[in-house]
Chain A
Amino acid sequence: MSTLSGSRWGAAGPSTLDPERVRGGGLGDALRAYLAAVRLGWATEANWTDPFLFFIYSVAKPVSAALILVVMVEIVGGEAGRAFRGYVVTGSALWSFVIAGISGLAWSVLDDRERYRMLRYLYVSPASFALLLVGRGTARLTVGAMGALITLAVGVVVLGLPLDPGRVDWPLLGVAMVGGLVAIVVIGILMAAVCLQTRQDSWSYPEAVAGSLFLVSGAVFPLAVLPQAVQLVGLATPLTWWLAGVRLALFPDGPSVVGGEGSAWALLSGSTAPTSVDIALALLTTGALATLAAAAVFRWSEHRARERGLIDQTSGS
């Protein structure tokens, strides 16, 4: 057998190609691939301008989104409005994680396929495709974190948000943030799966999904305001529990995201508002279900994209 014929994958006999080395698969290889994708994502996101302009760009969007809500609250006025201000600022700040996380993953598909036309090369690289996407999305998630922190800082310093570090429930905050970020990445993977199937005009799809989740997850108003059926959808969403956990950890006396008189939570559980343990368990359960669903959809989408040649398609309108 010649050296050339022996170099087929999985062929018996002497080979110049070691499949194990090409396939990788170890934890070290996965970590290296992830870090390379993070570096690539950060370079794509951040090296287009100087650091000052990049900082302005990173915080302008979340701060403006929070200010829209603050003016809405102020314009109606009253005691309810003042109590509500902290609620909307916190929700709006945290939401920049969601927008950045979901769009970061989905746009990495569109960016690499339609603009830079590198997706085909990334896809055939030995690293896991999903892992590369997560790495690319991590950079944007970091930008989202900057926006969230600055918005919260503006809320505390300028708008007088009553944040007392001594009263923060740090363990709950840690659990909620880890669970919430995993849930955001999972929804991002789901959107990446959708964008693998659609045209380049789907740039706005991630924000549309984030906008609809904005309604059902109690980001800027308590779920109890919604009709009961919509509240149930909200209770099945991990983002709702993430927001509830972070809010309870940061502002123990603030209004509950999911509870309240006549809320679906109160009818189902018999208690007015969920405890820290309830929130952590609900976040883990809904997050695990969302992860399973996203993994199934992503595998199906990847298979379909391979079958139909969508990995290297370009489109336009």
Chain B
Amino acid sequence: MSAGSPPLRFGVGDGRSAWVGRPTVGPRQAAAWSRHQEILTELRAIRGRAYPRVRALFREKSWLLFEILLPFLSTSAFVFVYRALAAPPEYIGFVVLGGAMTAFWLNVIWMMAAQLHWEKDQGNLELYFAAPIDLMSVLFGMAVGGLVMSGSRAAVVLAVATTVYGVTFDVGSWLLLGLVFGLTLAALYGLGMVLASLFLMWGREAWHLTQLLTEPIYFVSGLNFPVGRLGLLGALAISTIPLAVGLDAMRQLSFRGAPSFGTPPPEVEAAILVAMAVGFLAVARIAIRVLEGLARREGRLTLRWR
């Protein structure tokens, strides 16, 4: 440090960094990389955060039993409820589709929303804040890894249940169905990123809120029945919960002629999903910026068990 430079302190108000002695707001800026280096680092961060989730599929063998076979049996229980009631065959298809989509919702809740809270408990969160990467890359990495995990579970549930229970899909437009599926995942994981930030700020309540966001969300999203049957509650769910609107659109596209109970056509629901995906990602970005600021300014986000 030259004789004329001001003294360096952590967390100084004038934006000067203790790391390199020039005005920066965090490690990313302090690194002073080229655009190319920044992009490469962010991509590596995404890959690095996705890696343990993908590898976990092969390392934890119990996952096959508990995350694939048993959830299939759970879905089957609802199939037999409809069979006991002698319901029309498309209702069995509703259950199978809903059972496949629960894999993504559970992944969003357990492994996205609650994840930053757990990272804090484990002491990893402060490392994320100290690393020269964008926290959004960490969240994207978690989402990519989670998609691989939950996608395999959903595929198995869908394939096995379709075969075992003889579900016949009557798809009007595969292109639109694929688009709606992709948009649903984008909106779901965008919501997961928002919740991850909120749960981190809420602290210990986050754990219990994770519990609260399963069955009640299944109910208002119409997991095993057309959500339009819930009337106003269903309409509210369609306008706020990606699982509800995505499931309803996919049902309408997969089972032509099945009752929809007055919900919007799939094209409109696809537009709702686009708005949700963009909105959630934007809110997540803002929330992450706020969090980073809090973490650096007050330091309380890296304190465990709060």
Asked whether A211 is an interface residue with its Cβ less than 8 Å from the other chain, the reply is: yes
Count A interface residues, CB 8 Å: 51
Partner-contacting stretch, out of B3-11, B35-43, B209-217, B284-292: B209-217
From A72, A219, A316, name the one whose CB has the most chain B CB atoms within 10 angstroms. Answer: A72
Structural contact, A221 and B71, CB atoms closer than 8 A: no
CA distance A205 to B106 in the complex (A): 12
Task: Flag B203-235 by CB within 8 Å of A: 1 or 0 each.
Answer: 011011001101110110011111001100000
Partner-contacting stretch, out of A75-83, A170-178, A242-250, A277-285: A75-83
Partner-contacting stretch, out of A18-26, A29-37, A59-67, A302-310: A59-67
Indicate which residue in B60, B77, B85 contacts A219 across the interface (CB closer than 8 Å). Answer: B77
In the complex, which residue of chain B has the Cβ closest to the Cβ of A73? B85
CA distance A57 to B205 in the complex (A): 11
Structural contact, B74 and A68, CB atoms closer than 8 A: no
Structural contact, B77 and A61, CB atoms closer than 8 A: no
Chain A proximity of B100: nearest CB distance (Å): 14
Q: Which residues of chain B are near A88, meaning CB under 8 Å?
A: 81
Contact flag A76-B223 (CB < 8 Å), given A60-B215, A199-B56, A314-B122: no
Chain A proximity of B65: nearest CB distance (Å): 8
Structural contact, A199 and B60, CB atoms closer than 8 A: yes
Q: Which residues of chain B are near A72, meaning CB under 8 Å?
A: 78, 81-82, 85, 224-225
Indicate which residue in A71, A203, A212 contacts B110 across the interface (CB closer than 8 Å). Answer: A203
Structural contact, B60 and A201, CB atoms closer than 8 A: yes
Structural contact, A214 and B208, CB atoms closer than 8 A: no
Asked whether A220 is an interface residue with its Cβ less than 8 Å from the other chain, the reply is: yes
Tell me the B38-78 residues at the A interface (CB within 8 Å): 52-53, 55-56, 60, 62-63, 66-67, 69-71, 73-74, 76-78
Asked whether B240 is an interface residue with its Cβ less than 8 Å from the other chain, the reply is: no
In the complex, which residue of chain B has the Cβ closest to the Cβ of A96? B215
Structural contact, B62 and A198, CB atoms closer than 8 A: yes
Task: Flag B238-263 by CB within 8 Å of A: 1 or 0 each.
Answer: 00000000000000000000000000
Asked whether A296 is an interface residue with its Cβ less than 8 Å from the other chain, the reply is: no
Structural contact, A211 and B56, CB atoms closer than 8 A: no
Asked whether A69 is an interface residue with its Cβ less than 8 Å from the other chain, the reply is: yes
Secondary structure class of chain B's binding surface, majority of residues: helix
Interface size class of B (residues with CB under 8 A): 35 or more
Structural contact, B214 and A61, CB atoms closer than 8 A: yes
Indicate which residue in B60, B83, B121, B215 contacts A68 across the interface (CB closer than 8 Å). Answer: B215
Structural contact, B81 and A69, CB atoms closer than 8 A: yes
CA distance A153 to B211 in the complex (A): 22
Structural contact, A68 and B219, CB atoms closer than 8 A: yes
From A57, A68, A200, A222, name the one whose CB has the most chain B CB atoms within 10 angstroms. Answer: A68
Tell me the B109-162 residues at the A interface (CB within 8 Å): 110-111, 118-119, 121-122, 124, 145
Structural contact, A212 and B230, CB atoms closer than 8 A: no
Contact flag A57-B211 (CB < 8 Å), given A72-B82, A81-B85, A211-B71: yes
In the complex, which residue of chain A has the Cβ closest to the Cβ of B75? A211
Tell me the B12-37 residues at the A interface (CB within 8 Å): none
CA distance A285 to B81 in the complex (A): 28
Q: Which residues of chain B are near A211, meaning CB under 8 Å?
A: 70-71, 73-74, 77
CA distance A307 to B198 in the complex (A): 40
Chain A proximity of B166: nearest CB distance (Å): 14
Contact flag A76-B82 (CB < 8 Å), given A57-B208, A57-B212, A198-B60: yes
Chain A proximity of B209: nearest CB distance (Å): 8
Asked whether A84 is an interface residue with its Cβ less than 8 Å from the other chain, the reply is: yes
Task: Flag A173-216 by CB within 8 Å of B: 1 or 0 each.
Answer: 00000000000000000000010011111111100110110111
> Can you report 13 residue pairs joining A to B where beta carbons are below 8 Å apart?
A48-B205, A64-B215, A65-B218, A65-B219, A68-B224, A72-B225, A75-B87, A75-B226, A202-B62, A208-B70, A209-B66, A221-B84, A317-B56
Q: B residues bordering A, Cβ < 8 Å?
A: 52-53, 55-56, 60, 62-63, 66-67, 69-71, 73-74, 76-78, 80-87, 91, 106, 110-111, 118-119, 121-122, 124, 145, 204-205, 207-208, 211-212, 214-216, 218-219, 222-226, 229-230, 305
Q: A residues bordering B, Cβ < 8 Å?
A: 48-49, 57, 60-62, 64-65, 67-69, 71-76, 78, 80-81, 84, 88, 114-116, 194, 197-205, 208-209, 211-212, 214-216, 219-222, 225-226, 314, 316-317
Q: Known contacts A48-B204, A215-B77; can you find 18 more A-B pairs with CB under 8 A?
A: A64-B218, A68-B223, A71-B222, A71-B229, A72-B224, A73-B81, A81-B85, A84-B85, A205-B66, A208-B66, A211-B71, A212-B74, A214-B77, A220-B77, A221-B77, A221-B83, A225-B84, A316-B52
